[in-house]
Amino acid sequence: MIILFNPRATKPRNCRLPLSILALGAVLEGREEYQIVDGNLDNDPIGTILELIDNCRVDLLGVTVMPGPQMAAAMECSREIRRMRPQVPVVWGGYFPSIYPDATLNSKYVDFAVRGQGEDTLLELLEAVRRQHGLENIKGLSYKDLFGLHRHNPERPMKGPDSFPWTPFHRVPVDRYLRPSYFGRRTAVHHASIGCPFRCSFCGVHAAYGNRERMESPARTADVLRHLAASYGADSVQFYDMNFFMREDHARDLADRLLPLGLRWWCEARVDTLCRYSDSTLEALRRAGCTMIFFGAESGSDWALKEMQKDITTEQTLQMASRMRQCGIIPEFSFVIGNPKDPERDTRETVSFIRTIKRLNPSSEIIMYHYTPVPQRGSMYGDIDGQIAFPGTPEEWATKRWMDFTLRIDPNTPWLKRKTKRLIDNFELVVGSRWPTVQDIRAPRWSRALLKALSAWRYSSRFYHFPRELRWAHQFIDLRKPKQESL
């Protein structure tokens, strides 16, 4: 038996379908006995895994690992399983081992790290473990040799979603993953592509997959969503693709196929790609249920965008804000502020730019992060101009200092002055209060009016310092929100 483990990353009320684990289950279905354990639903995943090991012959424990809270949960479980059942090989896959393979292997409780797309790598690793074959020919695999040295095999060429079997939804309690959202009462999630062909220097997708993307055919995407709607009552979907729209003809075909399903949906896109789409295509997407599109605007400074290798312009972002207003789709613009080259200038210009976006399209959702880099391919433990050395073990990544860095709560980067960070945080609070997000479905109606009234003078006067009353108001509102399970 193979155990596929999804460590806890969120509260049960926020959990979504564990797509990475289900993708591995798809290639095991019908050829291997396997069991999925989801720490987001299971209150005692370690106990469940130990029971499976005691009752079955377990050949491998596969763990999917994202940086942040999931990595800490994966570390705790893997360490305990190694202590209590040392005979079971442990393999980590996902973004964390793809970006930090050496840190992964520096732990005594992880035997293998799968980098990038893991379906075929898992199958080949299983055969090698069972037959005690050599590991050197398994592409995408990192491991420790007999001398404890780290070996990183060549990258595995990426395959498109259509190359693999359907998601085995019957293996998990789908109803428990369809959660209420702004888009519907039973919101599903889906990946319609893998990877991204662009080269943004701060992005973990580029670090994990390189400049590649493979897309699912529109026919298969529609079939999967039709199945989720018919079998489980899904009424909406969030696409987890890093770049949902690549070609206009593909987008039009997909829109035509999704239209009869009556689903509302959210996705991610690039502003330069959608700038090239015709008004008729944008209208077709809206009719097909496209309700909100997430755009990585990243900065209000063209020089900073160039530094990031983002390959877009601020003018394109402004154009997209206007066009989204015209076609009735809500744009969600994300910014990573505080570029290492000149964080004060980047912050100042981006704050002004966000105000311009709000003038053009007040319904624009704004998301702000502090600039936090990730190692890029070719320099897995590289730094930023000698200013950052990344941790060398999962234990160090699990410390508060690096957990805050990963979550962009307080990255404590050496180039970002505290007063600049405070400006970013305060402006985010003011603009988020002046235009409360529509996605907080638990917020009472009166709370939006309260936040708008309290923040109006600050926004109009550009006075962002010491917004204590806004923090108190948010705390007061949070205490009075209804439980999500009651919605």
Query: E strands, 342-434, where?
Result: 365-370
Percent of the chain residues past pLDDT 90, beyond the cut = 81
Q: Are 22 and 133 found together in one domain?
A: yes
Does residue 157 lie in a domain region?
Answer: no
Mean pLDDT across 101-117: 96
* Residue 30 Ramachandran class (φ > 0 left, ψ -120 to 50 alpha, else beta): left
Half-sphere exposure of 1 (CA within 13 A, CB side): 17
- Tell me which residue of 14, 1, 3, 5 sits closest to 484, measured CA to CA: 14
Q: Are 315 and 417 found together in one domain?
A: yes
What pLDDT does residue 204 have?
67
For residue 240, the enclosing domain spans 173-486
Task: List, for residues 49-96, the tens digit of each pLDDT value.
Answer: 999 999 999 999 999 999 999 999 999 999 999 999 999 999 999 999
Residue 19: DSSP 8-state: H
Strand order in the sheet with 141-144: 34-38, 2-6, 60-64, 90-93, 112-114, 141-144, 150-152
Identity of the amino acid at 73: A
Task: List, for residues 283-299, the tens digit of each pLDDT value.
Answer: 999 999 999 999 999 99
Task: List, for residues 139-186, the tens digit of each pLDDT value.
Answer: 999 999 989 999 999 999 999 999 999 999 999 999 999 999 999 999
Q: Are 70 and 189 found together in one domain?
A: no
Mean pLDDT across 471-476: 95
Task: List, for residues 316-362, the tens digit of each pLDDT value.
Answer: 999 999 999 999 999 999 999 999 999 999 999 999 999 999 999 99
What is the total count of domains within the chain?
A: 2
Q: Are 418 and 306 found together in one domain?
A: yes
What pLDDT does residue 201 have?
67
Collapsing DSSP states into helix, strand and coil, what is residue 270?
Answer: coil
Q: What is the average pLDDT score of the chain?
A: 92
Model confidence at 206, pLDDT cuts 50, 70, 90, reads low
Does residue 464 lie in a domain region?
Answer: yes
What pLDDT does residue 382 have?
40
Contacts of 351 (CB under 8 A, 6+ apart): 300, 423, 427
Inter-CA distances, 322 with 135, 315, 362, Å: 53, 11, 10
Q: Are 129 and 222 found together in one domain?
A: no
Q: Contact 96/66 with Cβ under 8 angstroms?
A: yes
What pLDDT does residue 485 have?
44
Task: Residue 32: give its domain's CATH number.
Answer: 3.40.50.2300
Q: Residue 236 and residue 369: Cα distance in Å, rounded?
A: 27
Does residue 334 lie in a domain region?
Answer: yes
Task: List, for residues 397-407, the tens digit of each pLDDT value.
Answer: 999 999 988 88
Does residue 98 lie in a domain region?
Answer: yes
- Is the pLDDT at 278 greater than 70? The verdict is yes
Contacts of 317 (CB under 8 A, 6+ apart): 271, 295, 297, 333, 353, 357
Task: List, for residues 214-248, the tens digit of each pLDDT value.
Answer: 899 999 999 999 999 999 999 999 999 988 998 99
Q: Which helix (H) or strand (E) holds 133?
A: none
Q: Tokens in use for 313?
A: 């312009």
- Is the pLDDT at 200 greater than 80? The verdict is no
Model confidence at 486, pLDDT cuts 50, 70, 90, reads very low
Does residue 161 lie in a domain region?
Answer: no
Q: Are 395 and 350 found together in one domain?
A: yes
Mean pLDDT across 251-273: 97
Q: Are 233 and 357 found together in one domain?
A: yes
Q: Are 120 and 226 found together in one domain?
A: no
Task: Residue 298: give its domain's CATH number.
Answer: 3.80.30.20
Does residue 168 lie in a domain region?
Answer: no
Q: Contact 198/271 with Cβ under 8 angstroms?
A: no
Task: List, for residues 443-460, the tens digit of each pLDDT value.
Answer: 999 999 999 999 999 999
Residue 116: DSSP 8-state: S
From 143, 165, 184, give the residue that closes a domain: 143
Q: Are 327 and 192 found together in one domain?
A: yes
What pLDDT does residue 209 have?
72
- Is the pLDDT at 378 greater than 80? The verdict is no
Positive or negative, the CA dihedral 21, 22, 26, 30 is positive
Q: Are 110 and 183 found together in one domain?
A: no
Task: List, for residues 298-327, the tens digit of each pLDDT value.
Answer: 999 999 999 888 999 999 999 999 999 999
Q: Are 327 and 432 found together in one domain?
A: yes
Q: Are 113 and 248 found together in one domain?
A: no
Does residue 72 lie in a domain region?
Answer: yes
What pLDDT does residue 376 have?
56
Does residue 75 lie in a domain region?
Answer: yes
Q: Residue 352 and residue 355: Cα distance in Å, rounded?
A: 5
Task: List, for residues 380-429, the tens digit of each pLDDT value.
Answer: 334 455 577 889 999 999 999 999 888 888 788 889 999 999 999 999 99
